[in-house]
Amino acid sequence: MSKSVVSIVKCEDYAEDLVRSAVREALCLAGVERELSERKTVLLKPNLLSARRPEDAVTTHPSVVKSVGEIALAGGCEVVHPENRRLTVT
C-alpha cells in the first residue's frame, strides 16, 4: 500500500505570483514536482462544493487551480479536467 503525502505551505494572500511560488514549494516538498516534467497526464480536480465566491473559501481558489495547471503544462504534461476537457496554454 502506498503512502499519502501532504505538504502545507503558508501563503499570505491569493496574488498569483505568491500562490504560484507556494504551490511550487508544496509540490517540491511532496516530491511530485519532478513528476510534472515527465510528460504525464495530470487530472486537475478542484474542490467545487457549491457556487460560492473565492473569498468564501468553500472551494479551491482559482489561483491555486491556475498555478497547478500552469506548472504541469510548463513541464510538458497534458492537463485534463474531470469533465474530460483538455486544457492548453493561453
For 43-59, how does the pLDDT look when each residue is reduced to its tens digit (9 = 90+)? Answer: 888 887 778 888 888 88
Q: Evaluate whether 14 touches 55 at the Cβ level (below 8 Å).
A: no
Residue in the structure block whose three cell numbers are 491569493? 14
d(CA 19, CA 31): 18
Cα end-to-end distance, the chain, whole Å: 39
Q: Which amino acid is at 43?
A: L
Task: Evaluate if residue 42 carries a pLDDT over 80.
Answer: yes
Q: Which amino acid is at 27?
A: L
Q: Which amino acid is at 21?
A: S
Domain locations along the chain: 16-87
Residues 73-85 have pLDDT tens digits of: 999 998 988 766 5
